[in-house]
Amino acid sequence: MHYIPLGATAALAAVAALIFPADGAVASAGADVAGLVILPVAGAAGAVLAGWITGASLRNMRGDYFAAATLILSEVFVLLAANLDFLGGALGFELRVSRESLRHTHVDAWNAAVLTLAASANAAIWLLARRLSSTRFGLQLEAARDNPIAAAASGIEGAHHQGRVFVASCGFAGFAGGLFLYYTANIVPNDFSFVSGLPIIICVVLGRSSSVGTAIATVGLYVAEAALQLRLLGLFGSRIGGTMAEMRGLFMAIVLILAVLAGPALHRLPFAAAFLRTAWKRSQPGAV
Amino acid sequence: MPSDILHVERLTVAFGGLTAVRDISFSAGPDQLLGIIGPNGSGKTTLLDCLSGFRRPKKGSVHLCGIELLGKPPQEISRLGVGRTFQTPRLFESLTPAEHLLVAQRTGKSGQPGLFDAIPPGAALGIWNANAVASVVFGSMPELAGKLPFGQRRLLELARAVETLPKVLLLDEPSAGMNDAETEVLLQALRMLHRDRGITIILVDHNVPFVRAACDRLIAMDAGQVIAQGLPDAVLSDSKVVDVYLGHETC
Protein backbone atom coordinates (compact mmCIF):
# COMPACT_ATOMS: atom_id res chain seq x y z
CA MET A 1 0.00 0.00 0.00
CA HIS A 2 2.68 2.47 1.00
CA TYR A 3 4.72 1.85 -2.13
CA ILE A 4 2.06 3.23 -4.39
CA PRO A 5 2.69 6.92 -3.59
CA LEU A 6 6.30 6.20 -4.27
CA GLY A 7 5.46 4.55 -7.57
CA ALA A 8 3.51 7.68 -8.36
CA THR A 9 6.44 9.89 -7.53
CA ALA A 10 8.30 8.85 -10.62
CA ALA A 11 5.41 9.85 -12.84
CA LEU A 12 4.54 13.07 -11.11
CA ALA A 13 8.16 14.14 -10.86
CA ALA A 14 8.32 14.37 -14.63
CA VAL A 15 5.30 16.66 -14.63
CA ALA A 16 6.57 18.53 -11.61
CA ALA A 17 9.81 19.24 -13.39
CA LEU A 18 7.88 20.97 -16.15
CA ILE A 19 5.95 23.38 -13.95
CA PHE A 20 8.28 23.52 -10.98
CA PRO A 21 11.78 23.68 -12.49
CA ALA A 22 14.20 22.04 -10.09
CA ASP A 23 16.88 24.62 -10.76
CA GLY A 24 14.69 27.68 -10.49
CA ALA A 25 11.87 29.18 -8.56
CA VAL A 26 8.22 29.10 -9.37
CA ALA A 27 7.67 32.57 -10.60
CA SER A 28 3.97 32.66 -11.22
CA ALA A 29 1.01 32.08 -8.98
CA GLY A 30 -0.64 30.31 -11.93
CA ALA A 31 1.94 27.53 -11.82
CA ASP A 32 1.23 27.05 -8.13
CA VAL A 33 -2.50 26.69 -8.74
CA ALA A 34 -1.87 24.41 -11.70
CA GLY A 35 0.30 22.24 -9.48
CA LEU A 36 -2.57 21.68 -7.08
CA VAL A 37 -4.50 20.00 -9.89
CA ILE A 38 -1.73 18.54 -12.04
CA LEU A 39 0.37 16.88 -9.34
CA PRO A 40 -2.41 14.74 -7.78
CA VAL A 41 -3.74 13.78 -11.21
CA ALA A 42 -0.26 12.89 -12.45
CA GLY A 43 0.32 10.97 -9.22
CA ALA A 44 -2.87 9.01 -9.74
CA ALA A 45 -1.93 8.24 -13.33
CA GLY A 46 1.56 7.08 -12.35
CA ALA A 47 0.23 4.94 -9.51
CA VAL A 48 -2.41 3.35 -11.74
CA LEU A 49 0.40 2.38 -14.11
CA ALA A 50 2.53 1.05 -11.22
CA GLY A 51 -0.48 -0.84 -9.82
CA TRP A 52 -1.33 -2.30 -13.22
CA ILE A 53 2.26 -3.51 -13.67
CA THR A 54 2.20 -4.99 -10.15
CA GLY A 55 -1.19 -6.64 -10.62
CA ALA A 56 -0.37 -8.00 -14.07
CA SER A 57 3.00 -9.42 -13.05
CA LEU A 58 1.70 -10.99 -9.82
CA ARG A 59 -1.76 -12.03 -11.01
CA ASN A 60 -1.20 -15.73 -10.32
CA MET A 61 -0.31 -15.11 -6.68
CA ARG A 62 -2.86 -15.19 -3.89
CA GLY A 63 -3.14 -14.24 -0.23
CA ASP A 64 0.06 -14.04 1.79
CA TYR A 65 2.25 -14.65 -1.27
CA PHE A 66 0.66 -11.73 -3.10
CA ALA A 67 1.13 -9.50 -0.02
CA ALA A 68 4.79 -10.51 0.29
CA ALA A 69 5.44 -9.98 -3.42
CA THR A 70 3.86 -6.51 -3.41
CA LEU A 71 6.03 -5.56 -0.41
CA ILE A 72 9.11 -6.69 -2.30
CA LEU A 73 8.03 -4.68 -5.34
CA SER A 74 7.54 -1.66 -3.10
CA GLU A 75 11.14 -1.96 -1.98
CA VAL A 76 12.18 -2.13 -5.64
CA PHE A 77 10.31 1.14 -6.25
CA VAL A 78 12.01 2.71 -3.21
CA LEU A 79 15.45 1.66 -4.40
CA LEU A 80 14.76 2.85 -7.93
CA ALA A 81 13.57 6.27 -6.75
CA ALA A 82 16.46 6.61 -4.33
CA ASN A 83 18.92 6.04 -7.17
CA LEU A 84 17.46 8.20 -9.89
CA ASP A 85 19.21 11.56 -10.05
CA PHE A 86 16.34 13.42 -11.68
CA LEU A 87 14.23 12.52 -8.61
CA GLY A 88 16.86 13.92 -6.29
CA GLY A 89 18.31 10.54 -5.31
CA ALA A 90 18.26 9.55 -1.65
CA LEU A 91 17.68 13.18 -0.60
CA GLY A 92 14.36 13.13 -2.38
CA PHE A 93 12.56 15.39 -4.79
CA GLU A 94 12.03 18.98 -3.86
CA LEU A 95 9.70 21.57 -5.29
CA ARG A 96 11.43 24.92 -5.48
CA VAL A 97 8.82 27.51 -4.73
CA SER A 98 9.45 31.21 -4.83
CA ARG A 99 8.41 33.76 -2.25
CA GLU A 100 5.91 35.14 -4.76
CA SER A 101 3.98 31.89 -4.94
CA LEU A 102 0.51 31.57 -3.41
CA ARG A 103 1.66 29.40 -0.53
CA HIS A 104 3.71 32.35 0.72
CA THR A 105 1.56 35.27 -0.33
CA HIS A 106 -1.84 33.85 0.67
CA VAL A 107 -0.99 31.24 3.30
CA ASP A 108 -4.50 30.79 4.74
CA ALA A 109 -6.26 30.59 1.38
CA TRP A 110 -3.63 28.19 0.07
CA ASN A 111 -3.94 25.93 3.12
CA ALA A 112 -7.72 25.97 2.83
CA ALA A 113 -7.53 25.06 -0.86
CA VAL A 114 -5.25 22.09 -0.25
CA LEU A 115 -7.26 20.82 2.70
CA THR A 116 -10.52 21.27 0.80
CA LEU A 117 -9.15 19.24 -2.08
CA ALA A 118 -7.96 16.51 0.32
CA ALA A 119 -11.32 16.42 2.13
CA SER A 120 -13.23 16.42 -1.19
CA ALA A 121 -11.10 13.54 -2.48
CA ASN A 122 -11.80 11.56 0.69
CA ALA A 123 -15.52 12.24 0.42
CA ALA A 124 -15.50 11.25 -3.25
CA ILE A 125 -13.76 7.96 -2.46
CA TRP A 126 -16.19 7.27 0.37
CA LEU A 127 -19.17 7.95 -1.91
CA LEU A 128 -17.65 5.81 -4.64
CA ALA A 129 -17.12 2.92 -2.20
CA ARG A 130 -20.72 3.24 -0.98
CA ARG A 131 -21.99 3.30 -4.54
CA LEU A 132 -19.92 0.24 -5.46
CA SER A 133 -21.16 -1.73 -2.44
CA SER A 134 -24.73 -1.50 -3.73
CA THR A 135 -23.91 -2.80 -7.20
CA ARG A 136 -23.66 -6.31 -8.56
CA PHE A 137 -19.93 -5.75 -8.99
CA GLY A 138 -19.60 -4.82 -5.31
CA LEU A 139 -21.57 -7.88 -4.22
CA GLN A 140 -19.39 -10.08 -6.41
CA LEU A 141 -16.29 -8.56 -4.81
CA GLU A 142 -17.64 -9.43 -1.35
CA ALA A 143 -18.47 -12.93 -2.57
CA ALA A 144 -14.96 -13.47 -3.97
CA ARG A 145 -13.48 -12.29 -0.67
CA ASP A 146 -15.75 -14.58 1.40
CA ASN A 147 -15.20 -17.73 -0.65
CA PRO A 148 -13.11 -17.62 -3.85
CA ILE A 149 -13.93 -21.24 -4.76
CA ALA A 150 -17.68 -20.74 -4.46
CA ALA A 151 -17.32 -17.49 -6.40
CA ALA A 152 -15.53 -19.29 -9.24
CA ALA A 153 -18.21 -22.01 -9.22
CA SER A 154 -20.79 -19.22 -9.57
CA GLY A 155 -19.03 -17.83 -12.64
CA ILE A 156 -17.58 -14.80 -10.85
CA GLU A 157 -14.24 -13.50 -12.14
CA GLY A 158 -13.01 -12.82 -8.60
CA ALA A 159 -9.32 -12.30 -9.40
CA HIS A 160 -10.19 -9.97 -12.29
CA HIS A 161 -12.55 -7.91 -10.13
CA GLN A 162 -10.00 -7.69 -7.31
CA GLY A 163 -7.36 -6.65 -9.83
CA ARG A 164 -9.54 -3.77 -11.03
CA VAL A 165 -10.10 -2.61 -7.46
CA PHE A 166 -6.39 -2.94 -6.70
CA VAL A 167 -5.47 -0.72 -9.64
CA ALA A 168 -8.18 1.80 -8.69
CA SER A 169 -6.88 1.84 -5.09
CA CYS A 170 -3.40 2.52 -6.43
CA GLY A 171 -4.84 5.52 -8.28
CA PHE A 172 -6.34 6.90 -5.05
CA ALA A 173 -3.04 6.39 -3.23
CA GLY A 174 -1.17 8.08 -6.08
CA PHE A 175 -3.57 11.02 -5.94
CA ALA A 176 -2.78 11.32 -2.22
CA GLY A 177 0.93 11.04 -3.03
CA GLY A 178 0.70 13.91 -5.53
CA LEU A 179 -1.17 16.06 -3.05
CA PHE A 180 1.33 15.18 -0.33
CA LEU A 181 4.22 16.27 -2.57
CA TYR A 182 2.45 19.49 -3.45
CA TYR A 183 1.75 20.25 0.22
CA THR A 184 5.11 19.35 1.71
CA ALA A 185 7.09 20.36 -1.40
CA ASN A 186 9.43 17.48 -0.65
CA ILE A 187 9.28 13.72 -0.99
CA VAL A 188 11.99 11.32 0.20
CA PRO A 189 11.94 7.72 -1.07
CA ASN A 190 12.87 6.23 2.29
CA ASP A 191 9.73 7.76 3.83
CA PHE A 192 7.86 5.03 1.93
CA SER A 193 10.02 2.05 2.79
CA PHE A 194 8.77 -1.24 4.22
CA VAL A 195 9.43 -0.13 7.80
CA SER A 196 7.41 3.06 7.37
CA GLY A 197 4.52 0.96 6.11
CA LEU A 198 4.37 -1.19 9.25
CA PRO A 199 1.98 1.09 11.18
CA ILE A 200 -0.43 0.92 8.22
CA ILE A 201 -0.19 -2.88 8.18
CA ILE A 202 -0.90 -2.97 11.94
CA CYS A 203 -4.02 -0.84 11.43
CA VAL A 204 -5.30 -3.21 8.73
CA VAL A 205 -4.48 -6.35 10.75
CA LEU A 206 -6.21 -4.91 13.83
CA GLY A 207 -9.22 -3.64 11.91
CA ARG A 208 -9.49 -6.80 9.78
CA SER A 209 -11.88 -6.60 6.83
CA SER A 210 -14.09 -4.00 8.48
CA SER A 211 -13.59 -0.38 7.34
CA VAL A 212 -14.91 0.93 10.65
CA GLY A 213 -12.64 -1.46 12.54
CA THR A 214 -9.63 -0.26 10.56
CA ALA A 215 -10.57 3.38 11.23
CA ILE A 216 -10.92 2.70 14.98
CA ALA A 217 -7.65 0.77 15.02
CA THR A 218 -5.89 3.62 13.19
CA VAL A 219 -7.13 6.26 15.61
CA GLY A 220 -6.38 4.05 18.63
CA LEU A 221 -2.88 3.25 17.50
CA TYR A 222 -1.94 6.81 16.64
CA VAL A 223 -3.35 8.10 19.93
CA ALA A 224 -1.38 5.41 21.79
CA GLU A 225 1.77 6.24 19.87
CA ALA A 226 1.37 9.97 20.49
CA ALA A 227 0.71 9.28 24.19
CA LEU A 228 3.87 7.24 24.38
CA GLN A 229 5.85 9.84 22.46
CA LEU A 230 4.64 12.66 24.69
CA ARG A 231 4.98 10.56 27.84
CA LEU A 232 1.34 11.09 28.71
CA LEU A 233 0.81 7.77 30.46
CA GLY A 234 1.20 9.19 33.96
CA LEU A 235 4.92 8.74 33.71
CA PHE A 236 5.77 12.25 32.54
CA GLY A 237 9.36 13.04 33.29
CA SER A 238 10.15 9.68 34.77
CA ARG A 239 12.87 7.39 33.50
CA ILE A 240 10.30 4.69 32.66
CA GLY A 241 8.27 7.19 30.68
CA GLY A 242 11.34 8.13 28.68
CA THR A 243 12.19 4.52 28.01
CA MET A 244 8.64 3.84 26.84
CA ALA A 245 8.80 6.81 24.51
CA GLU A 246 12.01 5.52 23.01
CA MET A 247 10.65 1.99 22.73
CA ARG A 248 7.37 2.85 21.04
CA GLY A 249 8.50 0.94 17.92
CA LEU A 250 8.72 -2.14 20.10
CA PHE A 251 5.24 -1.38 21.44
CA MET A 252 3.87 -1.31 17.89
CA ALA A 253 5.59 -4.61 17.09
CA ILE A 254 4.07 -6.25 20.18
CA VAL A 255 0.63 -4.97 19.17
CA LEU A 256 1.11 -6.46 15.69
CA ILE A 257 2.12 -9.86 17.12
CA LEU A 258 -0.83 -9.84 19.55
CA ALA A 259 -3.18 -8.85 16.74
CA VAL A 260 -2.01 -11.78 14.62
CA LEU A 261 -2.23 -14.22 17.56
CA ALA A 262 -5.63 -12.97 18.68
CA GLY A 263 -6.92 -12.51 15.14
CA PRO A 264 -9.71 -15.12 15.25
CA ALA A 265 -10.83 -13.88 18.67
CA LEU A 266 -10.96 -10.29 17.37
CA HIS A 267 -13.03 -11.52 14.45
CA ARG A 268 -15.53 -13.02 16.89
CA LEU A 269 -15.88 -9.79 18.89
CA PRO A 270 -18.96 -8.56 16.98
CA PHE A 271 -20.65 -11.94 17.55
CA ALA A 272 -19.75 -11.84 21.26
CA ALA A 273 -21.17 -8.30 21.47
CA ALA A 274 -24.39 -9.41 19.74
CA PHE A 275 -24.66 -12.37 22.14
CA LEU A 276 -24.22 -10.12 25.19
CA ARG A 277 -26.77 -7.64 23.80
CA THR A 278 -29.35 -10.42 23.32
CA ALA A 279 -28.63 -11.86 26.78
CA TRP A 280 -29.04 -8.41 28.33
CA LYS A 281 -32.35 -7.81 26.52
CA ARG A 282 -33.67 -11.18 27.67
CA SER A 283 -32.70 -10.44 31.24
CA GLN A 284 -34.87 -7.30 31.26
CA PRO A 285 -38.21 -7.50 33.07
CA GLY A 286 -41.02 -8.37 30.67
CA ALA A 287 -38.70 -9.89 28.08
CA VAL A 288 -40.05 -13.05 26.41
CA MET B 1 -23.68 -38.87 -29.30
CA PRO B 2 -24.86 -35.58 -30.77
CA SER B 3 -27.93 -35.38 -28.48
CA ASP B 4 -25.78 -35.62 -25.36
CA ILE B 5 -25.38 -32.50 -23.25
CA LEU B 6 -22.26 -33.75 -21.49
CA HIS B 7 -19.81 -36.18 -22.99
CA VAL B 8 -16.84 -37.48 -21.00
CA GLU B 9 -14.21 -39.49 -22.84
CA ARG B 10 -11.39 -41.57 -21.29
CA LEU B 11 -10.88 -39.20 -18.37
CA THR B 12 -7.87 -39.99 -16.18
CA VAL B 13 -6.73 -38.09 -13.09
CA ALA B 14 -3.56 -38.93 -11.18
CA PHE B 15 -2.06 -37.54 -7.97
CA GLY B 16 1.58 -38.47 -8.32
CA GLY B 17 1.62 -42.26 -8.48
CA LEU B 18 -2.03 -42.63 -7.41
CA THR B 19 -4.60 -42.75 -10.20
CA ALA B 20 -7.81 -41.40 -8.69
CA VAL B 21 -9.90 -41.62 -11.87
CA ARG B 22 -8.98 -44.10 -14.58
CA ASP B 23 -10.24 -44.01 -18.17
CA ILE B 24 -13.79 -43.01 -17.35
CA SER B 25 -16.21 -42.45 -20.21
CA PHE B 26 -19.89 -41.63 -19.99
CA SER B 27 -22.53 -39.35 -21.43
CA ALA B 28 -25.48 -37.51 -19.98
CA GLY B 29 -28.40 -36.58 -22.17
CA PRO B 30 -30.84 -33.72 -21.80
CA ASP B 31 -33.26 -34.03 -18.89
CA GLN B 32 -31.23 -36.84 -17.36
CA LEU B 33 -30.80 -37.28 -13.61
CA LEU B 34 -27.63 -39.32 -13.27
CA GLY B 35 -26.38 -40.64 -9.93
CA ILE B 36 -22.80 -41.60 -9.13
CA ILE B 37 -22.26 -43.95 -6.21
CA GLY B 38 -19.28 -45.76 -4.76
CA PRO B 39 -17.22 -46.19 -1.61
CA ASN B 40 -15.12 -43.37 -0.16
CA GLY B 41 -12.00 -42.75 -2.22
CA SER B 42 -13.49 -44.18 -5.40
CA GLY B 43 -12.94 -40.90 -7.29
CA LYS B 44 -16.47 -39.47 -7.37
CA THR B 45 -15.63 -35.97 -6.11
CA THR B 46 -12.43 -35.89 -8.18
CA LEU B 47 -14.58 -36.60 -11.23
CA LEU B 48 -16.90 -33.67 -10.38
CA ASP B 49 -13.85 -31.45 -9.80
CA CYS B 50 -12.63 -32.26 -13.33
CA LEU B 51 -16.01 -31.60 -14.91
CA SER B 52 -16.25 -28.21 -13.19
CA GLY B 53 -12.65 -27.16 -13.88
CA PHE B 54 -11.31 -27.28 -10.32
CA ARG B 55 -8.93 -30.11 -11.19
CA ARG B 56 -6.98 -30.73 -14.36
CA PRO B 57 -7.00 -34.34 -15.57
CA LYS B 58 -3.97 -36.16 -16.91
CA LYS B 59 -5.80 -37.06 -20.11
CA GLY B 60 -9.22 -37.34 -21.65
CA SER B 61 -11.86 -34.89 -22.78
CA VAL B 62 -15.05 -33.32 -21.46
CA HIS B 63 -17.51 -31.75 -23.91
CA LEU B 64 -20.53 -29.66 -22.98
CA CYS B 65 -22.83 -29.33 -26.00
CA GLY B 66 -19.79 -29.91 -28.21
CA ILE B 67 -17.54 -27.38 -26.44
CA GLU B 68 -14.34 -28.74 -24.87
CA LEU B 69 -14.24 -27.79 -21.18
CA LEU B 70 -10.78 -29.05 -20.22
CA GLY B 71 -8.25 -26.27 -19.78
CA LYS B 72 -10.91 -23.68 -19.06
CA PRO B 73 -11.06 -22.04 -15.60
CA PRO B 74 -14.00 -22.90 -13.29
CA GLN B 75 -15.66 -19.50 -13.66
CA GLU B 76 -15.72 -19.82 -17.46
CA ILE B 77 -17.06 -23.38 -17.25
CA SER B 78 -19.77 -22.10 -14.92
CA ARG B 79 -20.73 -19.41 -17.41
CA LEU B 80 -20.82 -22.01 -20.19
CA GLY B 81 -23.48 -23.86 -18.22
CA VAL B 82 -22.05 -26.14 -15.55
CA GLY B 83 -23.41 -25.41 -12.06
CA ARG B 84 -21.84 -26.93 -9.00
CA THR B 85 -22.39 -27.55 -5.29
CA PHE B 86 -19.80 -28.92 -2.85
CA GLN B 87 -19.50 -31.70 -0.29
CA THR B 88 -19.31 -29.06 2.45
CA PRO B 89 -21.57 -26.14 1.49
CA ARG B 90 -19.55 -23.14 0.35
CA LEU B 91 -21.51 -19.97 0.97
CA PHE B 92 -20.70 -16.27 1.07
CA GLU B 93 -21.09 -15.87 4.82
CA SER B 94 -21.45 -12.08 4.83
CA LEU B 95 -24.18 -12.02 2.17
CA THR B 96 -27.88 -12.62 2.60
CA PRO B 97 -29.50 -15.58 0.84
CA ALA B 98 -31.08 -13.23 -1.70
CA GLU B 99 -27.69 -11.65 -2.41
CA HIS B 100 -26.33 -15.14 -3.10
CA LEU B 101 -28.74 -15.33 -5.98
CA LEU B 102 -27.99 -11.79 -7.17
CA VAL B 103 -24.24 -12.38 -7.44
CA ALA B 104 -24.73 -15.63 -9.35
CA GLN B 105 -27.00 -14.06 -11.97
CA ARG B 106 -25.66 -13.51 -15.46
CA THR B 107 -25.73 -9.90 -16.63
CA GLY B 108 -24.54 -8.19 -19.78
CA LYS B 109 -23.23 -9.80 -22.93
CA SER B 110 -20.20 -11.36 -21.24
CA GLY B 111 -22.16 -12.51 -18.21
CA GLN B 112 -20.16 -10.09 -16.06
CA PRO B 113 -21.58 -6.98 -14.40
CA GLY B 114 -20.40 -3.49 -15.26
CA LEU B 115 -18.60 -1.49 -12.60
CA PHE B 116 -21.68 0.55 -11.73
CA ASP B 117 -24.36 -1.90 -12.75
CA ALA B 118 -26.86 -0.99 -10.02
CA ILE B 119 -29.31 -3.46 -8.54
CA PRO B 120 -32.85 -2.25 -9.15
CA PRO B 121 -35.01 -1.84 -6.03
CA GLY B 122 -36.93 -5.00 -5.22
CA ALA B 123 -34.72 -7.08 -7.49
CA ALA B 124 -33.63 -9.35 -4.65
CA LEU B 125 -37.19 -10.27 -3.76
CA GLY B 126 -38.13 -10.80 -7.41
CA ILE B 127 -35.17 -13.07 -7.99
CA TRP B 128 -35.89 -14.89 -4.75
CA ASN B 129 -39.46 -15.66 -5.77
CA ALA B 130 -38.46 -16.62 -9.30
CA ASN B 131 -35.78 -19.09 -8.22
CA ALA B 132 -37.09 -22.61 -8.55
CA VAL B 133 -35.40 -23.81 -5.37
CA ALA B 134 -35.50 -20.71 -3.20
CA SER B 135 -39.22 -20.11 -3.62
CA VAL B 136 -39.99 -23.68 -2.61
CA VAL B 137 -37.45 -24.09 0.14
CA PHE B 138 -37.46 -20.86 2.12
CA GLY B 139 -40.45 -18.98 3.37
CA SER B 140 -38.41 -15.96 4.39
CA MET B 141 -34.98 -14.43 3.87
CA PRO B 142 -32.84 -14.62 7.01
CA GLU B 143 -30.36 -11.87 7.65
CA LEU B 144 -27.08 -13.56 6.72
CA ALA B 145 -26.20 -16.90 5.15
CA GLY B 146 -23.77 -17.55 8.00
CA LYS B 147 -26.71 -17.93 10.38
CA LEU B 148 -28.52 -20.65 8.42
CA PRO B 149 -28.74 -24.23 9.75
CA PHE B 150 -26.81 -26.88 7.83
CA GLY B 151 -29.67 -28.27 5.75
CA GLN B 152 -30.71 -24.82 4.59
CA ARG B 153 -27.10 -23.98 3.76
CA ARG B 154 -27.10 -26.92 1.35
CA LEU B 155 -30.37 -25.81 -0.20
CA LEU B 156 -29.17 -22.23 -0.54
CA GLU B 157 -26.04 -23.47 -2.32
CA LEU B 158 -28.30 -25.37 -4.70
CA ALA B 159 -30.50 -22.29 -5.23
CA ARG B 160 -27.38 -20.26 -6.07
CA ALA B 161 -26.20 -22.87 -8.57
CA VAL B 162 -29.64 -22.83 -10.21
CA GLU B 163 -29.41 -19.05 -10.58
CA THR B 164 -26.39 -19.47 -12.90
CA LEU B 165 -28.82 -21.03 -15.43
CA PRO B 166 -26.89 -24.27 -15.80
CA LYS B 167 -27.36 -26.82 -18.53
CA VAL B 168 -25.71 -29.38 -16.25
CA LEU B 169 -25.85 -29.32 -12.46
CA LEU B 170 -23.19 -31.21 -10.49
CA LEU B 171 -24.21 -31.95 -6.89
CA ASP B 172 -21.70 -33.39 -4.44
CA GLU B 173 -23.50 -35.28 -1.66
CA PRO B 174 -26.54 -32.95 -1.66
CA SER B 175 -28.45 -34.92 1.00
CA ALA B 176 -25.55 -35.39 3.44
CA GLY B 177 -26.36 -33.94 6.88
CA MET B 178 -30.01 -33.32 6.02
CA ASN B 179 -32.95 -34.57 8.04
CA ASP B 180 -35.77 -36.52 6.39
CA ALA B 181 -37.93 -33.45 5.82
CA GLU B 182 -35.09 -31.51 4.21
CA THR B 183 -34.18 -34.51 2.04
CA GLU B 184 -37.78 -34.67 0.84
CA VAL B 185 -37.69 -30.96 -0.03
CA LEU B 186 -34.43 -31.52 -1.89
CA LEU B 187 -35.92 -34.41 -3.81
CA GLN B 188 -38.91 -32.28 -4.84
CA ALA B 189 -36.61 -29.45 -5.89
CA LEU B 190 -34.44 -31.76 -8.02
CA ARG B 191 -37.46 -33.29 -9.72
CA MET B 192 -38.79 -29.82 -10.49
CA LEU B 193 -35.48 -28.63 -11.94
CA HIS B 194 -35.23 -31.80 -13.94
CA ARG B 195 -38.81 -31.80 -15.19
CA ASP B 196 -39.65 -28.11 -15.56
CA ARG B 197 -36.28 -26.60 -16.39
CA GLY B 198 -34.83 -29.53 -18.32
CA ILE B 199 -31.55 -29.34 -16.41
CA THR B 200 -29.28 -32.37 -16.63
CA ILE B 201 -28.34 -33.30 -13.06
CA ILE B 202 -25.36 -35.40 -12.01
CA LEU B 203 -25.29 -36.14 -8.30
CA VAL B 204 -22.90 -37.99 -6.04
CA ASP B 205 -24.41 -39.34 -2.82
CA HIS B 206 -24.15 -42.13 -0.25
CA ASN B 207 -27.84 -42.02 0.65
CA VAL B 208 -28.94 -45.02 -1.42
CA PRO B 209 -32.74 -44.65 -0.93
CA PHE B 210 -32.42 -40.98 -1.97
CA VAL B 211 -30.33 -41.86 -5.02
CA ARG B 212 -32.74 -44.62 -6.00
CA ALA B 213 -35.71 -42.25 -5.70
CA ALA B 214 -34.07 -39.32 -7.47
CA CYS B 215 -32.08 -40.80 -10.35
CA ASP B 216 -33.10 -42.42 -13.57
CA ARG B 217 -29.60 -43.77 -14.26
CA LEU B 218 -26.68 -44.75 -12.02
CA ILE B 219 -22.93 -45.13 -12.39
CA ALA B 220 -21.10 -47.10 -9.71
CA MET B 221 -17.39 -46.43 -9.22
CA ASP B 222 -14.64 -48.18 -7.34
CA ALA B 223 -10.91 -47.37 -7.25
CA GLY B 224 -11.35 -44.72 -9.95
CA GLN B 225 -13.14 -46.99 -12.41
CA VAL B 226 -16.73 -47.54 -13.49
CA ILE B 227 -17.83 -50.97 -12.27
CA ALA B 228 -21.48 -50.78 -13.29
CA GLN B 229 -23.90 -48.41 -14.98
CA GLY B 230 -27.51 -48.48 -16.04
CA LEU B 231 -30.93 -48.32 -14.43
CA PRO B 232 -30.85 -47.80 -10.61
CA ASP B 233 -32.34 -51.18 -9.69
CA ALA B 234 -29.97 -53.04 -12.00
CA VAL B 235 -26.89 -51.21 -10.69
CA LEU B 236 -27.87 -51.55 -7.04
CA SER B 237 -28.32 -55.28 -7.42
CA ASP B 238 -25.11 -55.76 -9.41
CA SER B 239 -22.87 -58.26 -7.60
CA LYS B 240 -19.74 -56.08 -7.92
CA VAL B 241 -21.57 -53.06 -6.47
CA VAL B 242 -22.92 -55.16 -3.62
CA ASP B 243 -19.43 -56.57 -2.94
CA VAL B 244 -17.48 -53.28 -2.87
CA TYR B 245 -20.10 -50.81 -1.69
CA LEU B 246 -23.47 -51.98 -0.42
CA GLY B 247 -22.33 -55.12 1.38
CA HIS B 248 -24.19 -58.37 2.10
CA GLU B 249 -26.74 -58.79 4.82
CA THR B 250 -25.36 -61.17 7.42
CA CYS B 251 -28.53 -62.06 9.28
ipTM score for this prediction: 0.88
Instruction: Return phi, psi of residue A181, to 5°.
Output: -65, -45
Q: Looking at the complex, report in whole angstroms how far the Cα of residue B159 sits from the nearest Cα belonging to chain A.
A: 11
Q: Domain for residue B128, yes or no?
A: yes
- Least confident range from A32-46, A191-205, A265-279: namely A265-279
Q: Does A208 touch chain B (CB under 8 A)?
A: no
Q: Does B165 touch chain A (CB under 8 A)?
A: no
- Least confident range from A5-19, A26-40, A74-88, B66-80: namely A5-19
Distance CA B213, CA B203 (A): 12
**Closest residue to A154, CB basis, from B54, B76, B103:** B103
Q: CB–CB of B164 and A155 under 8 A? A: yes
- Whole-number pLDDT of residue A1: 47
For an interface test with B, the pick among A60, A133, A145, A156 (most B C-beta atoms closer than 10 Å) comes out as A156
Higher per-residue pLDDT: B202 or A174: B202
- Whole-number pLDDT of residue B221: 95
Q: What's the pTM value of the predicted model, to 2 decimals?
A: 0.75
Q: CB–CB of A149 and B86 under 8 A? A: yes
Q: Does A131 touch chain B (CB under 8 A)?
A: yes
- Each residue of A28-71: pLDDT tens digit? 566 677 778 888 888 888 888 888 888 888 877 776 677 778 77
Higher per-residue pLDDT: B69 or A182: B69
Average pLDDT of the residues in A249-261: 72
Q: Does A155 touch chain B (CB under 8 A)?
A: yes
- Whole-number pLDDT of residue A24: 45
- Whole-number pLDDT of residue B4: 83
Higher per-residue pLDDT: A118 or A4: A118
**Nearest one of B221, B192, B223, B225 to B204, comparing CA atoms:** B221
- Least confident range from A98-102, A189-193, A226-230, A239-243: namely A239-243
User: What total of structural domains would you count in chain B?
Assistant: 1
Choose the most confident range, by mean pLDDT, from A65-79, A94-108, A248-262, B207-221. Answer: B207-221
Residue A204 host element (H or E): helix A194-207
**Closest residue to B92, CB basis, from A132, A137, A150:** A150
Residue of A nearest to B76 (CA): A155
Q: CB–CB of A156 and B91 under 8 A? A: no
- Whole-number pLDDT of residue A288: 52
| A and B: number of Cβ contacts within 8 A | 100
Higher per-residue pLDDT: A258 or A121: A121
- Whole-number pLDDT of residue B102: 86
Four-residue CA torsion sign, B214, B219, B220, B224: negative
pLDDT grade for A211, boundaries at 50, 70 and 90? low
- Whole-number pLDDT of residue A150: 95
CA distances from B66 to B13, B75, B81 (A): 22, 18, 12
Q: Domain for residue B251, yes or no?
A: no
Average pLDDT of the residues in A8-33: 57
Q: Does A132 touch chain B (CB under 8 A)?
A: yes
Q: CB–CB of B116 and A149 under 8 A? A: no
Q: Domain for residue B1, yes or no?
A: no
Q: Domain for residue B141, yes or no?
A: yes
Q: Does A156 touch chain B (CB under 8 A)?
A: yes
Residue stretches of chain B with pLDDT short of 70: 1-2, 108-112, 114-116, 118-142, 249-251
SS3 label, residue B220: strand
Q: Domain for residue B71, yes or no?
A: yes
- Each residue of B178-231: pLDDT tens digit? 888 888 888 988 888 888 888 999 999 999 999 999 999 999 999 999 999 999
Domain containing B62 equals: 6-246
Relative orientation angle of helices A211-229 and A248-261, to the nearest 10 degrees: 150
Q: Does B241 touch chain A (CB under 8 A)?
A: no
Q: Does A149 touch chain B (CB under 8 A)?
A: yes
Q: Looking at the complex, report in whole angstroms how far the Cα of residue A164 sits from the nearest Cα belonging to chain B.
A: 9
Q: Which amino acid is at A220?
A: G
- Whole-number pLDDT of residue A9: 60
Average pLDDT of the residues in A186-208: 72
- pLDDT reading at A154 higher than 90: yes
Q: CB–CB of A154 and B78 under 8 A? A: yes
What CATH number is associated with residue B79?
3.40.50.300
- Whole-number pLDDT of residue B105: 83
Average per-residue pLDDT for chain A: 75
**Nearest one of B245, B241, B236, B244 to B210, comparing CA atoms:** B236
Q: CB–CB of B78 and A137 under 8 A? A: no
